[in-house]
Amino acid sequence: MIDVIDYGFGNIGSVIKALEYIGYSCRIVDDPKGIHAASGVILPGVGAFGAAMDALRRNGLDLAIKEYIASGAPFLGVCLGMQLLFEKSEESGEGTSGLGILPGVVRRFPAEAGLKVPQIGWNCFERAPDPVFRKGDYVYFVHSYYCDPERDGDVAATATYGLEYACAVSRDNVLAMQFHPEKSGEVGLSILNRWARRTR
C-alpha cells in the first residue's frame, strides 16, 4: 500500500488516479501514525514553502516523514514535496527551514531577459544520471523556485530554464522530482511506475 500524504498542499487527486491507473493500491493519509506501515510514501505539494512546512509541523507529519525515511522504505517527493526535503528556501526572504533530509537550498529563478517566472509547461531532461529518468524525455513543470543541492551526487536529473538545475534528486531510498509525473503523460506514468516498483 502506497500512502499519499495530505497536509493541505498537495495535488492529491491526480496523484491517486495516476497510481491506480498503473495498478497500485494507495490511500490518503493525514495522520503521522498512519504512514509507518506503508510500503511507500509520496509527499506531493503545490504552494508556498513556509506555509507547507508549518502545516507539516502542526500535524506532526514532519517527524513522521523523517522517521519513515530513516527506516529505509521508498519515499517520493513531488514538486513542492521535493523542495521541502531541503534545508531551507529563499521563498520567505530570510530562508525558511525545511525537513533537512538533503543538504542544499531552494532558490528563485534569476530574473533574466526573456525568462518568465514561474516556469510553466514542458521541458526535457538535459542529464539523467539516475536510471529512473531518460535523457531527452519531456515532462511538465509549474514552479518559480528550483532546488540547489549541496552534493552533486544527489542530482538525479537536470533541466535548463535560464540555468541548468536539478529537476530531480535521489539518495538511498529517497527520490524526488520538481515536475509533475502525474501530469506528464506516458513518460510521467513510466517514471512513476519505475519508482512504485520499489514498493513491492
- CATH number at 132 reads 3.40.50.880
Residue 113 has pLDDT above 90, yes or no: no
Q: Shortest CA distance to 184 belongs to which of 108, 129, 125?
A: 125
Q: Say whether 143 is catalytic.
A: no
Structural domain of 98: 2-199
Range with lowest mean pLDDT among 78-87, 88-97, 120-129, 130-139: 88-97
Q: Distance between CA 124 and CA 172 in Å, rounded?
A: 24
* Catalytic residue, candidates 124, 126, 182, 186: 182
pTM exceeding the 0.75 threshold for the entire prediction: yes
Reported confidence tier of residue 61, pLDDT bands at 50, 70, 90: very high
* Catalytic residue, candidates 67, 143, 180, 186: 180
Q: Say whether 186 is catalytic.
A: no
Q: Say whether 79 is catalytic.
A: yes
Q: Per residue in 120-159, pLDDT tens?
A: 999 999 999 999 999 999 999 999 999 999 999 999 999 9
Q: Per residue in 40-55, pLDDT tens?
A: 999 999 999 999 999 9
Number of domains in the chain: 1
* Catalytic residue, candidates 26, 79, 147, 167: 79
